[in-house]
Amino acid sequence: MSGLRWGILATGGIAHAFASDLRTAGLDLVAVGSRSQASADAFAAEFDVARAHGSYEDLAADPDVDIVYVSTPHPMHADNARLVLEAGKHALVEKPFTLNRGEADSLRELAASRGLLVMEAMWTRYLPHMVRVREIIESGALGEIRAVFADHTQRLPLDPGHRINAMSLGGGALLDLGIYPISFVWDILGAPETVQAAARLGETGADAEVATVMTHAGGAVSTTISSSRAAGPNTAHVVGTEARIDIDRVWYTPTSFTVTGPDGTVIERYESHVDGRGMQFQAIAAEHFVSEGLLQGRELPLDESVAIMGTLDDIRRQIGLTYPGED
């Protein structure tokens, strides 16, 4: 392991979860940066972080930081990651990677020119149960994959200023919730050949519900449903000709799954045992990639993160969702 020294950019809820899991895993969290010194100081005190910076610029300039976790809202990801990369540091950027594919392409080019790792913090990809799901699929035990379907549905606040509803913060079910099942579909079936989307826009113009139907190589199909207004089962399923995988609630967090044959026989039952939320696995992976000199991860290559942003752009075009400042 490379033993990287971590910094965290921004101090919101997801930053707290990530910091807790870094501590759980014994990784080296040395600095935090916020837009205010008071917020940085409070975060540093909570997680015993040595240095608290009152600006993102000061965090990026910290010579004792090797890699930065960018945890700001979606529209700020590209600028914040660019700040980190231009300071010569690796970056782990909260999902979705950026607001659109154009921004993702720009970050990919910058990271390559600087010889730095930048990766999307789609932490689900790195969880132990997902590693096992991919092993089972790669073994051929499911036969030919014919369908994948997953939902990410939550009942979130209706406040127009809440990040899930505020257009200025990249609000909407698609980028905040739908990124999970869409990335999962990409992981299992690869790039979609066709994409069809439907949505209901909420009062602020952000999407409250969005559904997709996609076709993939060999004629396989996928469906996803995401909602910020209603809590559904939050399960995922991979259906093959010889068996299926049913991932339990909540499928995108550490959980269990069952492999079942066509006749109902249980072939395998997997139970998850993870300390904390499970965000540490992506951080551990990032450290391994840097130590190996890799500029792209294995579980979620940068090129795939960029391409997924293209799929999200396509869905947004179909449902009429454009954010402030976009052409």
Give the residue numbers marked as catalytic.
95
Kindly provide the residue ranges of all beta strands, DSSP E only, lying in the chain, ordered along the sequence.
5-9, 28-33, 51-53, 67-70, 90-94, 118-121, 145-153, 194-201, 207-215, 221-227, 236-240, 244-247, 257-260, 266-270
Cβ-Cβ contacts under 8 Å for 245 (sequence gap 6 or more):
133, 136, 137, 142, 237, 238, 257, 258, 259
Going by DSSP bridges, is the β-strand pair 266-270/257-260 parallel, antiparallel, or unpaired? antiparallel
Provide the 3-class DSSP secondary structure of residue 78.
helix
Tell me the C-alpha to C-alpha distance, in Å, between residue 13 and each of 8, 81, 91, 160, 182. 12, 19, 19, 19, 23
